[in-house]
Structure 1
Amino acid sequence: MAGGTGALGRRLVPQLVSRGHQVTATTTSAAKMGLLAELGADGVVMDGLDAVSVGEAVAKARPEVIVHQMTGISLTHAGKPDLKHFDRWAVPTIRLRTEGTDHLLAAAEATGVSHFVAQGYANWNGIREGGWVKTEEDPLDLMEGTVAHTSMMALRHVEDVVGKAGGVVLRYGAFYGPGATDDQVELVRKRQFPLVGRATGYASWVHLDDAASATVLAVEQKAKGVFNIVDDEPAPASEWLPHLAACAGAKRPIRVPTWLARLLAGEVAVVMMTEGRGFSNAKARRELGWEPHYPSWRQGFKEELA
């Protein structure tokens, strides 16, 4: 597993180990080797942007499956989230989804790895036309003309190259669970996470443990293609954000007009909150036999923030 110490990796490694899989997991920091051992994995330090480093790590592990969970969205790698300058903030993740994916696929081919699983994204970024809920048949929104375009093109790259290699891309919804939404909850409690306009934009969520269980199924079934890994209830910001605030014991979010949000936070934030499209999990339920433990963020937020 490339990216074993991220928010999802920490939940995924134990699930794989509990099902009898031998896991070699990577980290960029030698200081996190102990954590990987505690999770049950053999740890290896790897730079996902260095082809030699990736090739050596894969050759040494000789895995049957590579699971690509590398991102660069942590405070350490990217700093505080910055939607107004999305293109700059997302550079580490963009590189890992382009260069990093290519390095892993090259290493997989060189060592005869039979299956490849990669992380995609299905939160608010469905194509902004037609209905509010999208399937795997609908294209992702490439956000042309905005600072999110480079990130969306990186997601398309992952789906294109992994698909050609006969692998699977799991489009995860917005993560919540242990450590995944601390920054957002803090903003909500400070009333710095407002509703924008009518807040009609949809989003899809998934608990980290449910994302991990879907990934285990994709590994074991050698799934191919693209799957939306989201809960059962895509919903507009006007519903999920006030509920998140209530679960966090915070006051109801303030509401700001779109023109002010565009000025303060940029076009991408406005699109997310007013025009975003959510996603359906019907294919994952049908073809993978996946059943999320948290079918709705309504239950999940309440339990996580109790």
Structure 2
Amino acid sequence: MRVFVAGASGAIGEPLIAELLKQGHSVVGMTTSEKRAKVLENQGASSIVVNAFDAEAVATALKQSKAEAVIDELTSLPKDQTEMPQYAAGDTKLRIEGGGNLFRAAIAVGVRRYVQQSSGFFLKAAKGALADEDSPLDVNASPGIAGSARMYEALEHRLFQSDAIEGVSLRYGFFYGPKTWYYPGGSAADMVMRQVTPVIGDGQGVSSFVHIQDAAIATVAALTADAGVYNVVDDNPSPQSVWFPAFAKFLGAPPPPHMTEADARATAGEDAVYYATKLVGASNAKAKRVLGWQPRRLEWLQAG
């Protein structure tokens, strides 16, 4: 299959391009940098340098690619996790406006399938239950979380509003692995090493992760599976009180400090408290069944 990948040089881009090529697909990677374009070409993909906000250029590039499927991995995220509040507006603008240009162009040129990056961690579920693909995004969460949830909700609404294209929404868990925040040398790992990130309250918020390579494998499988929504997360949804100390041990860091919800709210804000105490994990049963996908065990739990 001829596949057009937008955001081809992001965190998931390199393993995704590699997996697509490994499975015999022809790939055109879209990036904004000549330097990154050469990296894509060195991997064996074709490349094109296009600004997603240039609707005409996006449409021309997609038409020339003769793509049968588009994978939209457009993001604008910082290397340092602590800078996310400053990046949030630009990230949303890129995904909504730039992604909108890509989506409309895909319909206009007759692309058959559109695969959209979404979120598997800002979901709502009954107390004590894991979120499934019918679970809504938590648009009434703490301010920053709610803003992200509304963005993902808008992406999914756009994706499924047209019968002219097959939509697949991949609700990824938190990425870990090479070139992610949750990897030795990454910003989240660095904060754990410096003991600046605490377990908050009882740490009952449940996080779902996915290794970046496993996410790439699931994404390629989604090109030929039934259209719809899939939670692309591993088998180990864990409360902060479990995964966070295990992550610290995996990194060789001291056990993380603890902080009350009240103190965390006063010093770090509502979003930090939400992450630690209100996140719900997600079920991957559908992705495993339909995609024939088997993710690895969460690395630092396995190490423990």
TM-score > 0.5, shorter chain as reference: yes
Q: What amino acid is aligned across from residue 177 of structure 1 in structure 2?
A: G
Match of 1:296 among 291, 295, 298: 298
From 117, 120, 123, the equivalent of 2:118 is 120
- CA offsets, 1:185-205, max 9 Å, x none? 110000011111111100000
**Aligned: 1:101 with 2:99:** yes
Q: Indicate whether 1:237 and 2:240 are aligned.
A: yes
1:251 matched residue in structure 2: 254
Root-mean-square deviation (Å):
1.7
The 4+ residue runs of structure 1 with deviation greater than 2 A are 79-83, 128-132, 147-150, 295-300
- Give the Å deviation of 1:70: 0.7
Cα displacement (A) at 1:74: 2.8
Where in structure 2 are the equivalents of 1:134-283 lying within 5 Å? 134-144=131-141, 146-165=143-162, 166-180=166-180, 181=182, 182-221=186-225, 223-283=226-286
Count of residues in correspondence between the two structures: 293
CA distance in structure 2 between the partners assigned to 1:298 and 1:135 by the alignment: 24
Q: CA deviation at 1:156?
A: 0.3
Matches of 2:158 and 2:34, distance apart in 1:
30
Q: 1:145 to 1:265 in 2, by over 3 A?
A: closer
Cα-to-partner distance string for 1:52-103 (whole Å, 9 max, x where unaligned): 221122112120000000100134xxx65346xx3x4311221122112211
CA shift at 1:49, angstroms? 2.1
Alpha-carbon shift at residue 145 of structure 1 (Å): 5.9
Deviations along 1:221-271, one digit per CA (max 9) or x if unpaired, are 3x3111000001111000000000000000000001111211222101101
In 2, the alpha carbon distance for the partners of 1:57 and 1:169 equals 23
Q: TM-score, normalised by structure 2?
A: 0.91
Distance 1:245-1:145 versus aligned 2 partners, 3 A rule: closer
* Residues in 1 aligned to 2:258 and 2:171: alpha-carbon distance in whole angstroms: 30
User: How many angstroms apart in 2 are the aligned matches of 1:145 and 1:174?
Assistant: 18
SS in structure 2 at match of 1:95: helix
**Which moved further from structure 2: 36-45 or 130-139?**
130-139
Q: Distance in 2 between matches of 1:179 and 1:92?
A: 21
Task: Give the superposition deviation at 1:107.
Answer: 0.6
TM-score between the two structures when normalised by the length of structure 1: 0.91
Deviations 1:25-63 (A, max 9, x none): 011111211111122211111111221221122112120
CA distance in 1, matches of 2:88, 2:82: 9
Aligned partners of 1:298 and 1:194: how far apart in 2? Answer: 18
Aligned counterparts of 2:143 and 2:126: Cα–Cα separation in 1: 17
Deviates more, 1:273-282 or 1:162-171: 162-171
Q: 1:10 aligns with which of 14, 17, 22?
A: 14
Q: Secondary structure at the match of 1:23?
A: strand
Report sequence identity in percent. Answer: 34
Give the 3-state SS of the residue equivalent to 1:178 in structure 2: coil
Query: How far did 1:144 drift?
Result: 4.9
Contact (CA 8 Å) 2:124, 2:135: kept in 1 or not?
yes
2:42 & 2:251 partners in 1: Cα distance? Answer: 30
Partner Cα distance (1:177, 1:111) in 2: 35
Alignment partners' CA distance in 2, 1:133 and 1:194: 24
Distance between the aligned counterparts of 1:197 and 1:22, measured in 2?
Answer: 49
Given the alignment of the two structures, is residue 286 of structure 1 paired with residue 289 of structure 2, yes or no? yes
Cα distance between partner residues in 1 of 2:299 and 2:208: 9
The answer for the alignment partner of 1:81 in structure 2 is 82
CA contact (8 A) 2:76 2:87 kept: no
The one of 102, 127, 130 equivalent to 1:130 is 127
Q: 1:4 to 1:254 in 2, by over 3 A?
A: same
Gaps of 5+ in 1: none
Match of 1:40 in 2: 44
8 A Cα contact 2:72 2:115, kept in partner: yes
Tell me if structure 1 keeps the 8 A contact 2:189–2:251. Answer: yes
Is contact 1:203-1:234 (8 Å) kept?
yes
Distance 2:137 2:19 in 1: 30
Which runs of no fewer than 5 residues in structure 2 stay unpaired?
Answer: none
